Amino acid sequence: MMTVIANQRLAKSLWIGALIVVSMSQVHAANWVLAPTSNVGFHIDSARESMVIAKFNTVHATLNFDENAPQQASTRFIMDVDSLSLNNPAMKSTLLGKDLFYAAQFKTVSFKSDQFRVLGNNKYQIIGQLTIRVITRPVIFDSTLKPVTNNQKLMNMVSSTTINRTDFGMKKAPDGMGEKINIKMNVDWKVKR
């Protein structure tokens, strides 16, 4: 009788152990995709205030990330320029016109990482190549990447960088619109199934 009970306890322990291993493999999963709650956008300031606040509503992105080897991570984003929504809809034709994004000819903005530099405390510099109007320049996104507390299948990433518009072939804009574009991502990654 004691042997049967011991065997039952051993089987139960092995089953619980297997569940823990499966759970941990989800936490450490390497392949992630964007959750619908994600926000990728930018703002352009004038001399006095944020003149344009914009969001890309169509974004395709992937992340390869394992918290046991974060320095080997990689990510890629492709944003549909025509999907932009603005806080000031009257500015949309200017923003998508020839002098700025020129959406009729250049349909996407993209970013591809070259390196994840680990800074500690869930902070990273994501170094890579940003392409706008088929002009590619190196950029660094200052980023925080950490698991969502109540859902181990989700990770939150907040990233930002600032670029000069003219570096990507955009012309000077009217109405005092600033030279700098402040890009910000606040995205949730979910385990790819």
- Let me know: does 101 contact 92? Beta carbons within 8 Å: no
Q: What is the pLDDT of residues 135-180, one digit of tens each?
A: 999 999 999 999 988 887 899 999 999 999 999 999 876 667 788 9
Q: Is the pLDDT of residue 101 over 60?
A: yes
**Domain architecture of the chain: domains with CATH:** 30-191 (2.40.128.110)
Q: Is the pLDDT of residue 23 over 60?
A: no
User: pLDDT value at position 150?
Assistant: 86
Q: What is the pLDDT of residues 42-84, one digit of tens each?
A: 999 876 666 889 999 999 999 999 989 999 999 999 999 999 9
Q: Is the pLDDT of residue 21 over 80?
A: no
Q: Is the pLDDT of residue 37 over 50?
A: yes
What is the C-alpha R_g of the chain?
22
- List Cβ neighbours of 176 (8 Å cut-off, separation of 6 or more): 46, 47, 51
Provide mean pLDDT across the span 33-45.
Answer: 94
CA distance linking residue 117 with residue 127, whole number of Å: 8
Q: What is the pLDDT of residues 181-191, one digit of tens each?
A: 999 999 999 98
